[in-house]
Amino acid sequence: MKKIALLGCLLGLAWGAAAPAQDYLPPIDDPNFRPYPIAVPAFKELGTGAAALAKEGAEILRNDLGIAGSFKVLDPRSYLADPAKEGLTGAAINFPDWLNVGAEGLAKAGVAIDGAEVILEGRLFDVATGKELLQLKLKGPKDNLRPLVHQFADRIVKHFTGVRSVFSTQIAFAKKVKGNKAICLMDFDGFGERCLVSNDSINLLPAWSPDGRYVYFSSYLKGGPHAWRVELATGRMNQVSKQRGLNIGVAAAPDGSAIAMTLSKDDNSEIYRMAPDGTKVARLTNNFAIDASPTWSPDSKQLAFVSERSGNPQIYVISAAGGEPRRLTFQGNYNQTPDWSPRGDWILFNARDERLVYDIFKVNPDTGEIRRLTQDQGNNEHARWSPDGNLVVFNSTRAGESKLYIMNADGTNQRMISKGSGEYTNPAWGPWAPEKK
């Protein structure tokens, strides 16, 4: 009886909501969401010398669309058409072959080598009507097909969802190197790993400036630990905050006006707000307990942070101007590492559950509603949103040593992205590069 009554409540709610215009696929967390089935056959080698690239290209595209979460990439082994024989244009494609493997969309591409350059010709079709939805031609250096395929994937996602994908973004992280830690970068899919800051010291907790120009981090290079930042274009490093004690866990305001971090210069860990270069320091919290891990709301007007003022660590929210904080989490007794979604609707955090295992959860900043995202797979910590708020990157010990993983915002589609050996921690998802005109 109770179940029926509850269903009645839910139905009543759904009935009241207006149906949105259906030009785009519904978002992943929409009740009407269903992954869009798309076929991505091997790319066609145009001319000679591009066979390996053609094979690699299709794999990159399938991986991108799989990570995007909105698509179901159909298993290439099931395809009826021979990709080497079938053409790239609508007239040369036998659409019933694609309809019969369950595809609604078909992404095709050809790859050609032209001197030192590689050319990618991509097309997107609606299988039911045979209509060409998208056509593009991209050029780049021969040894670097990857960014071209990411661009093609980006256009496909934008066509179906109306929003920018994260395929051209990067993730910063801390990596253990010979007992110390380096600050490194990887593409969103884990490829192209390289280190920005590697010295004989411990470097931790990378965080991006909203324009993607700097990565902030905390380092023991000159004691401290102090807060530093490195300019990506030049590799130039400078100290942002070198107060006595801790200078850790920088978070940059999305509007670029300020940064926040934890300082212990006044003999206790408190949250401070300052200008992006570390000047104009203002204290926000004032409590005998540990206060740490600030994260900004998307409008830069509030911060969520961790405090153990209730006796154990919990998530609180405070105005960026300071004042009395509001407690947000009441369940569990060990909640840490908040990260406020760029959409504003959820705050990721970490909790230790009753079995003393660490998992990732999210809490609604207005209602306090909590949802669990990981379970029964090692310790999962330090979750950070992608710039579109669709995906989450985190570190997990599910395969032994700590590695980086991504998942959809609802906890589905979890996959390891870090490729190397060694311990990966503290991921931070970078912003979009300015959009090309």
Partner 1 sequence: MRTALPRLAPKILLLVAALALAGCPKKIPQPEIDAAERAMADLDKLKDCAPELVAAARAAMEQAEGLMKAEKYDEAKAAYLAARSLADKARKECDEKKKAAEEAEKKRLAELAAQEAARAMNNTPAEAPSGPAALVTVLFDFNAAELTDKARADLEQNAEYLRARPALRVQVEGHCDSRGSTEYNLALGERRAMATRQFLVKLGVDPERLEIISFGEERPADPDSTEEAFGKNRRAEFRELQ
Is 364 a binder of partner 1 (CB under 8 A)? no
Question: Which H or E element spans position 360?
Answer: strand 358-363
- Between 146 and 283, name the residue whose CB sits nearer to partner 1: 283
Tell me the backbone φ, ψ of residue 359, rounded to 5 degrees. -135, 165
The Cα–Cα gap between 138 and 359 comes to 42
For residue 246, the minimal CB distance to partner 1 (Å) is 6
Is 246 a binder of partner 1 (CB under 8 A)? yes
- Of 225-244, which residues contact partner 1 (CB under 8 A)? 225
Is 366 a binder of partner 1 (CB under 8 A)? no
List 61, 172, 248, 393, residue binding partner 1 (CB under 8 A): 248
Is 223 a binder of partner 1 (CB under 8 A)? yes
Is 382 a binder of partner 1 (CB under 8 A)? yes
For residue 397, the minimal CB distance to partner 1 (Å) is 8
Is 379 a binder of partner 1 (CB under 8 A)? yes
Is 352 a binder of partner 1 (CB under 8 A)? yes
For residue 68, the minimal CB distance to partner 1 (Å) is 29
For residue 12, the minimal CB distance to partner 1 (Å) is 5
Is 254 a binder of partner 1 (CB under 8 A)? no
How crowded is the C-beta side of 48, counted as CA atoms within 13 Å?
0
Burial profile 254-292: b = 16 or more Cβ within 10 angstroms, e = fewer? beeebbbbbbbbeeebbbbbbebebeeeeebbeeebbbb
3-state secondary structure of 292: strand
Mask for 294-333, x = binds partner 1 (CB under 8 A): ------------x---xxxxx---------------xx-x
3-state secondary structure of 231: strand
Question: Which H or E element spans position 351?
Answer: strand 347-352
Is 267 a binder of partner 1 (CB under 8 A)? yes
Mask for 190-219, x = binds partner 1 (CB under 8 A): ------------x-xx--------------
Is 337 a binder of partner 1 (CB under 8 A)? yes
For residue 216, the minimal CB distance to partner 1 (Å) is 13
Mask for 383-402, x = binds partner 1 (CB under 8 A): --------------x-----
State the amino acid at position 386 in one-letter form.
S
- Between 191 and 330, name the residue whose CB sits nearer to partner 1: 330
Q: Where are the alpha helices (DSSP H) in 290-372?
A: none
- Of 14-43, which residues contact partner 1 (CB under 8 A)? 15
Check: CB of residue 54 under 8 Å from CB of residue 43.
yes
The Cα–Cα gap between 275 and 418 comes to 33
Is 354 a binder of partner 1 (CB under 8 A)? no
Report CA-CA distances (Å) from 148 to 52, 69, 119, 136, 141. Answer: 15, 20, 9, 11, 10
For residue 387, the minimal CB distance to partner 1 (Å) is 22
List 63, 241, 293, 374, residue binding partner 1 (CB under 8 A): 293
Q: Which residues pair with 394 in a beta bridge?
A: 405
Is 262 a binder of partner 1 (CB under 8 A)? yes
Edge-first strand order for the sheet with 370-372 is 335-340, 347-352, 358-363, 370-372
List 83, 147, 245, 298, residue binding partner 1 (CB under 8 A): 245
Residue 421, Cβ density class (10 Å: 0-12 exposed, 13-18 middle, ≥19 buried): exposed
- Of 249, 365, 393, 367, nearest in space to 297 by CA: 365
Contacts with partner 1: how many residues (CB under 8 A)?
51
Q: Which residues pair with 350 in a beta bridge?
A: 336, 360
Is 286 a binder of partner 1 (CB under 8 A)? no
The Cα–Cα gap between 64 and 72 comes to 11
Report CA-CA distances (Å) from 19 to 22, 30, 36, 158. Answer: 8, 12, 20, 21
- Site residues (vs partner 1, CB under 8 A): 1-2, 4-9, 11-12, 15, 181, 202, 204-205, 220, 223, 225, 245-246, 248-249, 262, 264, 267, 269, 290, 292-293, 306, 310-314, 330-331, 333-334, 336-337, 350, 352, 356, 358, 379, 381-382, 397, 425-426
